[in-house]
Structure 1
């Protein structure tokens, strides 16, 4: 196999993985966007998600190969549980119509928690990629680009659809996050 074919194969593999990891950010974006979000907050959250999609594989690579099997399943379950809790809380608070403590995606803690929830899979993928000779810079940049771009796309799409849904937008968004959380846990 020639060097060019190997590099093309590696690029296509990394693009596929980056896209798959970005789908988590996209689904989160739709859920949060349905709840209603300002354009400035979309850019902030997109940037934080992109940064976490770059940081987590680096941490995963540093964690080493020895624990890759354990971390892969634990990371997926932790991300699923986080999305399940966030989605459940959104549905509960929207259906109760009472004043409940809302999860604030605009706060620094809220953004970090959301970004961690959707990028934790990048950590386990980073551990797995550490076993191969993947181009580190290309990997990190692709993961960051797809994570950020797909979260922004999901936020904008959710925001647009959420305007038409009115008060039911938060319920729909929470249900989407809840469903993705269940899928990660199964």
Structure 2
């Protein structure tokens, strides 16, 4: 293995961790809902899958689509996170309201899409380089899945400590992360 290949692998590992940290941060907030371990496993697997599919799509379309779409993907992801977080905060004050966003079905797909949109932009840039695609995609998916699990389990533990205020804190984390994407 050459020094160049080792450097490329280290770069991909750091990139995978950076992409997975988005999922970790958001999962920390989402995990503060009372979510069962089986659901946490499914959510992590779906987010990992999205972190494979989105950059793969970006790689495939890397040369066909302009770099402008990366800005729109980030904007959409940020808006989705702010919306999900705001709903969590407002539903914490209205105990009779049913939660709109649950990490099941369509809610899970929106959640996974919102945390993996930035990986599409990364895929666009990787499509223009000569990176080991399969290795990069598996690394992205594995890191985001693992970090999602860690975030949701930590969030679940914090829910037990914070009780009724955990949903407000979780929603605030999602809103803050979405605003950071939009304006940071």
Q: TM-score range by the shorter chain?
A: over 0.9
Given that residues 30 and 173 in structure 1 are in contact (C-alpha distance below 8 angstroms), is that contact kept between their aligned partners in structure 2? yes
Q: Which runs of 5 or more structure 2 residues have no equivalent in the other structure?
A: none
Residue in structure 1 matched with residue 158 of structure 2 by the alignment: 161
Given that residues 67 and 124 in structure 2 are in contact (C-alpha distance below 8 angstroms), is that contact kept between their aligned partners in structure 1? no
Aligned residues: 183
How is 1:38-117 mapped onto 2 (pairs within 5 angstroms)? Answer: 38-95=36-93, 97-117=94-114
Residue in structure 1 matched with residue 142 of structure 2 by the alignment: 145
Partner Cα separation in structure 2 for residue 12 and residue 72 of structure 1: 24
Given that residues 30 and 155 in structure 1 are in contact (C-alpha distance below 8 angstroms), is that contact kept between their aligned partners in structure 2? yes
2:11 counterpart of 1:7: no
Superposition TM-score, scaled by structure 2 size: 0.95
Structure 1 position 147, deviation (Å)? 0.8
User: Which string of whole-angstrom CA distances, capped at 9 and with x for unpartnered residues, describes residues 111-135 of structure 1?
Assistant: 1111111011111100110111000
Superposition TM-score, scaled by structure 1 size: 0.94
Q: Which runs of 5 or more structure 1 residues have no equivalent in the other structure?
A: none
Partner Cα separation in structure 1 for residue 66 and residue 172 of structure 2: 31
Given that residues 82 and 176 in structure 2 are in contact (C-alpha distance below 8 angstroms), is that contact kept between their aligned partners in structure 1? yes
Residue in structure 1 matched with residue 177 of structure 2 by the alignment: 180
Q: RMSD of the alignment, in Å?
A: 1.2
Runs of 4 or more above 4 Å deviation = none
